[in-house]
Amino acid sequence: MNLALVGDIGGTNARFALWRDEQLESVRVLATADYLGPEAAISAYLAELGLPLGAVESVCLACAGPVSGDLFRFTNNHWRISRAAFCETLQVRELLLVNDFSAMALGMTRLREDERRLVCPGEPEANRPCVVIGPGTGLGVGTLLESADGSWLALPGEGGHVDLPIGSPREAELWQQLYRQLDHVRAEDVLSGGGLLLLYRAICSLDGHAPRLQSPAEITAAALDGDAVALQVIEQFCCWLGRAAGNNVLSLGGRGGVYIVGGVVPRFAELFLASGFARCLRDKGVMSSYFDGIPVWLVTAEYPGLMGAGVALQQALGRG
């Protein structure tokens, strides 16, 4: 493969890298608000590296949302892409757009051992799906499956928008608090960065605490400092993440393993590892034993979405 470029584009930041010899090079993170569109951002990225337009023949961009047709509109920023105009402007021969969590799932195939932490021990079953789930700006859910020829298939979906699962009377009471605000309570409403603040306010309202924390970062910092209410928030967050992940395992037959990804959980990794996540993952009544032997990992890799975009591009071009 000649020199290629990969990107992982979110609502706030766009991450770009060169893809050469199956490795990432020259990773940069640009603020989407600073550029009119992806062409302008990529032009600035290439200029910083001293590369002219046309130096990159192939591009793969991981984008939040379903990708099809010529025009793609980003859901969380002002950017949009016309495939034809993009290739003409940047003198690119091939443009591949993939769902962001398809790229994230493919990134799991290139993890090093030091880029994941064991949450639940087990052995992945061959030829069975893996579940990839990650709280970030929203809640992403993807499915990874190895094909008979050794290539990888990543199935996109919108699993973050399923209903928030309720598994205890306490959770039912919290759900009622959330329902009064939202009218419909999705898993993503709680299992995301902003969801930490929503959950904190619901717990304060239910238990009669005066809310004093104003951001997800403050809640995380307070929990790490031992604040009792903030610790309850993190614990409930982890329990709900376990229930959501467990539902996906049952729905998909995900005995290939579970990967917890995204930017939220690693910020309180030790609290997560000591939480009720594993208990709630398998809290499925008569189906609880189904989870015996399914491994779960917390992913700490810095740029798994970019790595997955590279894997997607190699596979699309028939070289990986």
What is each CA distance from 249 to 33, 94, 97, 167, 299, in whole angstroms? 37, 35, 27, 16, 17
Q: Give the full edge-to-edge strand order of the sheet including 130-135.
A: 116-120, 296-299, 258-260, 130-135, 139-146, 152-155
What b/e string do you get for 79-101 counting C-beta neighbours within 10 Å, with b at 16 or more? bebebeebeebbebeebbbbbbb
Contact (Cβ atoms closer than 8 angstroms) between residue 31 and residue 48: no
* Phi, psi angles (nearest 5°) of residue 136: -145, -130
Annotated binding residue 7: yes
Cβ neighbours of 38 (radius 10 Å): 26
The distance of Cα 6 from the centroid of its chain, to the nearest Å, equals: 17
**What ranges in 91-207 are assigned the alpha helix state H?**
100-107, 169-182, 187-190, 193-207
Cβ neighbours of 178 (radius 10 Å): 21
Annotated binding residue 11: yes
Annotated binding residue 10: yes
Give dist(CA 279, CA 242) in Å, integer: 8
Give dist(CA 161, CA 183) in Å, integer: 14
Give dist(CA 233, CA 170) in Å, integer: 13
* Phi, psi angles (nearest 5°) of residue 60: -125, 125
* C-alpha torsion angle, residues 170, 173, 175, 179 (rounded to 10): -170
Give dist(CA 182, CA 5) in Å, integer: 40
Binding residues for ATP, as ranges, are 7-12
Binding residues, as ranges, are 7-12
